[in-house]
Structure 1
Amino acid sequence: MPVVLVTPLANGDLALKFGYSTPDGGCQKTDTTFTKGAVDGQFSNKAMAQTNIRVASTDYKHFAVLYVETQKGGVRNVWLQLYARAPELFPEGAQKMQQLVPQVGLNPSQGTLLPRSGDKSTDRWID
């Protein structure tokens, strides 16, 4: 199961440690820092070409919808990711994510809510 450890830094940035299993049964670990943006709750990571990362919606108890924008090679991509505290899909979180789709400029007919995978990774709205 993928694991993310988020640690707030004194300067307002976030240190993230990612760990996830690989197809060969091993474990891949990555450390990265997300730089605090101009607006509270907004972060970026230039190494990952992520220019705008923020929590678009959360109930602080069951789910969070993350907005991610990337800019690389003149191509801009936007997507939403739904995170939950339990392996089961939280219906209110999925509903909120679907409501946000047109608000962030995505076309509902071009995206999908992917079913949960066997490794319990995040559900994503893809465009």
Structure 2
Amino acid sequence: MRMKSVLWGWVLALLWVSAAQAEVLVQPDFDAKKFSGLWYVVSMVSDCKVFLGKKDHLLMSTSTVKAVAEGNLSVHMEFPRADGCNQVDAEYLKVGSEGHFRVPALGYLDVRIVDTDYSSFAVVYIYKELEGALSTMVQLYSRTQEASPQAVKAFRDFYPTVGLPDDMMVMLPESDVCSSGGKEAP
């Protein structure tokens, strides 16, 4: 009987998570070609325990995005680290509507481009699994290393709607560790 209760609890939890994710909308009429190009990740907020343990030491990273077949995105990411520049290439696979992806290689179960004007900022929602734990992350992308006040406002207005408080947010300082400026995504 106890096992049935535990199993039922897990089923309810998964249904609740699915319902919560369903409320996160994507950018209307998302255009992958307009979204392509170099983006700086200037701010992040997350309830991920790994992120929270490292957030005060993180630096601004870059993502170079390229629209590819079937609405997918090819993304080249560069993360400055104490021991150099970590580079990762990933395929963002379209699921459902335009602007909605999953990235199995990174454990990203649900990625949504929530808001973007394409020319200066984007707010990106990520629901992921890391080290067996599920977490929510929201990133602020900017075409320049300094986000506009409107971009920061859109970011700050959105992340509380997915249950993330201000004390889990960090504005990322610039770094020249990854000096390629974001190479072309493959």
Map residues 2-41 of structure 1 onto 2, 5 A cutoff. 2-24=61-83, 26-41=84-99
* 2:141 aligned residue: 83
Structure (1 or 2) with the greater helix fraction: 2
* 1:55 aligned residue: 113
**Please, what TM-score do these two structures have when normalized by structure 1?**
0.75
**Mind listing any 5+ residue stretches in structure 2 that lack a counterpart?**
1-59, 177-186
**Equivalent position to 2:174, from 112, 118, 125:** 118
Q: How many equivalent residue pairs? A: 117
Amino acid at match of 1:31: D
Matches of 1:5 and 1:110 in 2, distance apart?
28
Q: How far 1:33 moved relative to its partner?
A: 0.9
Matches of 2:62 and 2:129 in 1, distance apart?
26
Q: CA RMSD in A?
A: 2.4
**Please, what TM-score do these two structures have when normalized by structure 2?**
0.54
Secondary structure in structure 1 of the residue aligned to 2:109: strand
Amino acid at match of 2:67: P
Secondary structure in structure 2 of the residue aligned to 1:56: strand
- Compared with structure 1, are the counterparts of its residues 63 and 76 closer, same or farther at alpha carbon in structure 2 (3 Å cutoff)? same
**Mind listing any 5+ residue stretches in structure 1 that lack a counterpart?**
121-127
Matches of 1:35 and 1:21 in 2, distance apart?
25
Structure (1 or 2) with the greater strand fraction: 1
Q: Share of identical aligned residues, percent?
A: 28
Query: Runs of 4+ in structure 1 displaced over 6 angstroms?
Result: none
Tell which has more relative contact order, 1 or 2 (C-alpha 8 A, sep 6+).
2
Larger-gyration structure (1/2): 2
Matches of 1:87 and 1:117 in 2, distance apart?
9
